[in-house]
Structure 1
Amino acid sequence: MSGLVLPPGAGRRLTTRAQDVTFKVTAADGSVSSIFEVVVPPGFDVGAHTHDRGQEFFYVLQGTLDVFAFEPAARTGDSWHDWESASGERVVRAAAGSSMFVPPGCPHAFRNAGEEPVRMLFQSSPSPDHERYFEEICEIFAEGRTVDPDAVQRLRDRSDVRQITPLRYEPPLLSGISGS
């Protein structure tokens, strides 16, 4: 029996303007969890959501993400950024070295509110649920300049993702560029 050793940068990579995901360990490797390296672009907000059966672990490698993993005292439909739990938990600014574990049924989200891409290690169980999800969401993002929210919702409906607030990708405007 052998394990799996990958050098830096190795793995199957899916890249679009809003998604950069490298598959590190998958069901094809015999794993019960899927592990990915994910680059989160500035302006990307996955939206608050839950999973009925899936659990997730996030570890920030480089940069800073806004994250939360709790049931809010009140769910609002448009944004999770100001949510607070009944016990006072709030959204956290997670820097490199921070981690977040999300058990099944727990509302959670992340966003890159900064101006630089953020690198994180992401593990999800059971495998291969998120493998298929990343493949399909990358296809949706690759289709054009805007994201079809109905296509995203259909994918999430099939993928154990119960959306609470919308996924958003609003890259910051480039400053200092003028047209001629």
Structure 2
Amino acid sequence: MNGLVVSPGQGRRLVTKAQEITFKVTASQGTFASVFEVVVPPGFDVGAHVHTRQEELFYILEGQLDLCAFEPIERTPDDWRGWTSPEGDRVTRAGSGSCMFVPPGCPHAFTNPTDEPTRVLFLSYPPPDHESYFEELSRIFSHGAEVDSNAVQRLRDRYDVDQITPLRHGTPAS
């Protein structure tokens, strides 16, 4: 039995207009988690969403993200960035070295509000759900200038992603 060493720049890459994802550890190597390095471009907003089965961990390597991982007092359908939890939690501007853990059932979101790309180490359990999701999402994003939002929704429905606010990519929203 051998372990795995993945050097910088190594791994299978998926590049779309929304994100750049490098598969570092996949279900073919073990059952611990799927591990990805993700480059989040300026203005990308994954939109608030929730999973019933998935656990996720985000660790910011370089750059900044606005992060949210709580049930808000009110789930507003257009924008999560003004959410507040009953305990007073609010969206956090997080930089390098910051970490966000998301258990199943917890609404969460992130956006890159800056003018620079942000690099994130992303772990997802159980594998290979996010591996398959990212592969299919990259095919959707590769078709033409406009993203087929219905195709994205069908994909999310199949992969335990209950979307609360829209996914957006483009100009950073301050």
User: Shorter-normalised TM-score: what interval?
Assistant: over 0.9
Listed as ranges, the matches of 1:54-69 within 5 Å are 54-69=54-69
Aligned mates of 2:23, 2:104 — CA distance in 1: 22
Aligned to 2:102: 102
Listed as ranges, the matches of 1:1-180 within 5 Å are 1-171=1-171
User: Structure 1 residue 171: deviation in Å?
Assistant: 3.3
**8 Å CA contact retained: 1:65, 1:94:** yes
Aligned to 1:72, the other structure's residue is in SS state coil
**8 Å CA contact retained: 1:63, 1:118:** yes
Aligned to 1:130, the other structure's residue is in SS state helix
Which residue identity does 1:91 align to in structure 2? V
User: Structure 1 residue 99: deviation in Å?
Assistant: 0.2
Aligned mates of 2:48, 2:73 — CA distance in 1: 14
Aligned mates of 1:151, 1:170 — CA distance in 2: 19
User: Structure 1 residue 97: deviation in Å?
Assistant: 0.3
Aligned mates of 1:17, 1:86 — CA distance in 2: 36
**8 Å CA contact retained: 1:25, 1:31:** no
Q: Which has the larger radius of gyration?
A: 1
Note the alpha carbon deviations across 1:29-84, whole angstroms, 9 max, x for none.
12331000000001100000000000000000000000010000011000001000
User: Structure 1 residue 94: deviation in Å?
Assistant: 0.8
Aligned to 1:27, the other structure's residue is in SS state coil
Q: For this pair of structures, how many residues does the alignment match?
A: 172
User: Structure 1 residue 6: deviation in Å?
Assistant: 1.1
Alpha-carbon RMSD:
0.8
User: Structure 1 residue 23: deviation in Å?
Assistant: 0.2
Which residue identity does 1:70 align to in structure 2? F
Aligned mates of 2:48, 2:37 — CA distance in 1: 20
Deviates more, 1:26-35 or 1:116-125: 26-35
Which residue identity does 2:60 align to in structure 1? V
Q: TM (normalized to structure 2)?
A: 0.97
**8 Å CA contact retained: 1:66, 1:92:** yes
Aligned mates of 1:42, 1:48 — CA distance in 2: 17
User: Structure 1 residue 16: deviation in Å?
Assistant: 1.5
Aligned to 1:177: none
Q: TM (normalized to structure 1)?
A: 0.94
Aligned to 1:153, the other structure's residue is in SS state helix
Which stretches in structure 2 are left out of the alignment for 5+ residues? none
Aligned to 1:157, the other structure's residue is in SS state helix
Aligned mates of 2:156, 2:5 — CA distance in 1: 32
Which stretches in structure 1 are left out of the alignment for 5+ residues? 173-180
Which residue identity does 1:98 align to in structure 2? S
Note the alpha carbon deviations across 1:109-138, whole angstroms, 9 max, x for none.
000111010000000000000000000111
**8 Å CA contact retained: 1:65, 1:93:** yes
Which residue identity does 1:166 align to in structure 2? P
Aligned mates of 1:32, 1:153 — CA distance in 2: 28
